[in-house]
Amino acid sequence: MADDYDYDLFTIGGGSGGVRASRIAASHGAKVALAEEFRVGGTCVIRGCVPKKMLVYGAHFAEDLEDCEKFGWSIEGKSFDWVKLRDHVQKDIDRLNGAYTDTLENHDVEIFHERAEITGDHEITLASGKTVTAKYILVATGARPHVPDCPGHEHGITSNEAFHLDAIPERILIAGGGYIANEFAGIFNEFGSKVTIINRSDTLLRSYDESLRDRLLQISMMKGIDFRFHAEFRCIEKLDNGKLKVSMTNHDDMEVDCVMFATGRLPNTEGLGLDTIGVELGDKGEIKVDRFSKTNVDYVYAVGDVTDRVQLTPVAIREGQAFADTVFGSGDPVAVDHSCIPSAVFSHPPIAAVGMTEGEAKNQLGNVKVYISDFRAMKNVVADRHERSLYKMICDAGNDRIVGIHMIGPEAPEIMQAAAVAVKAGLTKADFDATTAIHPTMAEELVLLK
Ligand code: NDP
């Protein structure tokens, strides 16, 4: 390949989607180069899912240490050292960054550690001034945090900076009611911050089932997290003492040590030269693609968050794989199935879901059956922790098929991964009933629903 071009494939962006696509294309025999201006690994590995999950683990010790006396343990002089955890997490991120780089190099993917821009048909110019050509171009540049445009917004941080803080803020205000807001609210709260979430509406985690959202709100409040709804920023002012004074609609001013924006993410499409070759963008600046991740320009493809389809790492990886198999593999074109994708929010406690919410199922199917288990996990009972789990199964009343499962409670994401296989496979409530419980577990509730 690559007779008339320097490369068969040039990938812009070394995150989950870009790395998978490049590696697979190379394994199909393509000559591949990839440009990454920051660190190979992308949002998920460097400043997203992975370090966040490590902080979630760290945060959970707070409750385990609180509960441990009920299980007979006494620990004298326990204390928390944020800098130790932060640096330890970053050390592991360095390792992963190295592993992702090695993977590419082992597949003979040439890496340019610099910014790349499309400067003409099949032509890419690197920040160093070098110009190369490629038969195909894949844009996998991801997304970045959206920061509301209010006076003083520059005093706030986003999740990007949260991993590098010098100290845990005494009081933090987190803006937004989605994944990042709820996950970091749990993390900071367990580390001892006074956390306030402010949200423009009164709806948290909009895409999740209402009962779970209500349960998370109730438990979060019980744990000491404050919520201010229908609040939008008016301004953020830095005071002489270094603190931040936040003014917002419908609520009193607040003084805090840190403001963190978690108000959605915007596709990274600026400055890539997409307009130079006429790649079509959507309203949010996302790259518009067909089911094979192809743009309106025949040789340009895009995968992952930059397309704003489903902003989840495993989806970006699948899109990257499908692109590489379609364009460089020997078989039929592969399109990613974006239906019935399981997801989780690593809040305290976590939420996990697959398929339709009760509301969606009622709208789409009309007649549905809903099975609920509202219980206290054994560990919480022994620990005297008044925190109830909620599992919900939604079935199509016409044929008994399970169309959605929703869970909030300890280890819900771990349990959901297996349950999601059953929902994706179209199993019925009777199939779950026919499965013997593993006792005593939390997961057994799924096969005992009445
Ligand atoms: P989300 O889309 O989850 O939530 C954004 C929140 O910000 C919503 O409450 C939204 O309100 C609010 N919002 C949006 N725009 C504005 C605005 N202009 N002013 C004020 N509030 C606003 O985004 P996140 O930033 O939390 O996360 C980004 C994406 O990253 C997620 O959608 C998810 O796909 C992915 N992610 C996944 C994780 C996981 O899998 N566990 C973890 C973290 C991120 P409203 O509801 O009214 O729109």
Q: What does the pLDDT look like over 21-74, one tens digit per residue? A: 999 999 999 999 999 999 999 999 999 999 999 999 999 999 999 999 999 999
Residue 344: phi, psi to the nearest 5? -145, 150
What per-residue string of b and e applies to 197-207 under the rule 16 or more CB within 10 Å gives b?
bbbbeeebbee
Task: Give distance in angstroms: CA of 311 to centre of ligand 1.
Answer: 10
pLDDT score of 2: 58
Mean pLDDT of each 10-residue bin along the chain, 450 residues long: 87 98 98 97 97 98 97 95 98 97 97 98 98 98 96 98 98 98 98 98 97 98 98 96 97 98 98 98 97 98 98 98 97 94 98 98 97 98 97 98 98 98 98 98 97
Task: Give distance in angstroms: CA of 145 to centre of ligand 1.
Answer: 9
Q: Are 12 and 124 in contact (CB under 8 A)?
A: yes
Q: Where are the domains of the chain?
A: 7-144+266-328, 153-263, 349-447
Task: Give distance in angstroms: CA of 245 to centre of ligand 1.
Answer: 24
For β-strands 194-198 and 32-35, DSSP reports them as unpaired
* Nearest ligand 1 atom to alpha carbon 313: 40
Q: Is the domain 153-263 a CATH 3.50.50.60 member?
A: yes
* Nearest ligand 1 atom to alpha carbon 204: 9
Q: Mapping DSSP to helix (H, G, I), strand (E, B) and coil, where does residue 329 land?
A: coil
Ligand 1 residue neighbourhood (C-beta within 6 Å):
148, 176-181, 183, 199-201, 203, 206, 262-265, 311-312, 343-346
Task: Give distance in angstroms: CA of 113 to centre of ligand 1.
Answer: 30
CATH (residue range 7-144+266-328): 3.50.50.60
Please calculate the CA angle 204-205-210 and round it to the nearest 5 degrees.
80
pLDDT score of 1: 58
Task: Give distance in angstroms: CA of 8 to centre of ligand 1.
Answer: 36
Instruction: Choose the residue to mutate in 43, 144, 157, 200 for probing ligand 1, maximizing ligand atoms within 8 Å of C-beta.
Output: 200
Identify the H or E element spanning 322. Answer: helix 313-328
**Residue 340 buriedness (CB in 10 A; 0-12 / 13-18 / 19+):** middle
Q: Are 347 and 177 in contact (CB under 8 A)?
A: no
Domain pair 153-263 / 349-447, same fold: no
Residue 158: phi, psi to the nearest 5? -125, -175
Residue 301 β-bridge partners: 138, 294
Nearest CA, atom 14, ligand 1 = 263
pLDDT score of 331: 85
User: How far apart, in Å, are the Cα atoms of 108 and each of 6, 111, 130, 365?
Assistant: 14, 9, 20, 50
Q: Are 302 and 139 in contact (CB under 8 A)?
A: yes
Q: Among all residues, which ones are annotated catalytic?
A: 439
The architecture (CATH level 2) of 349-447 comes to: 2-Layer Sandwich (3.30)
Give the model confidence (pLDDT) of 81-117 as tens digits: 999 999 999 999 999 999 999 999 999 999 999 999 9
d(CA 93, CA 264): 23
User: How far apart, in Å, are the Cα atoms of 297 and each of 14, 30, 136, 320?
Assistant: 22, 20, 10, 18
Instruction: Choose the residue to mutate in 46, 56, 159, 179 for probing ligand 1, maximizing ligand atoms within 8 Å of C-beta.
Output: 179
* Nearest ligand 1 atom to alpha carbon 310: 34
Say which residue the tokens 């990938």 belong to: 11
Bond from prior residue into 349 cis (ω within 30 degrees of 0): yes
Instruction: Choose the residue to mutate in 204, 212, 263, 354 for probing ligand 1, maximizing ligand atoms within 8 Å of C-beta.
Output: 263
d(CA 291, CA 269): 20
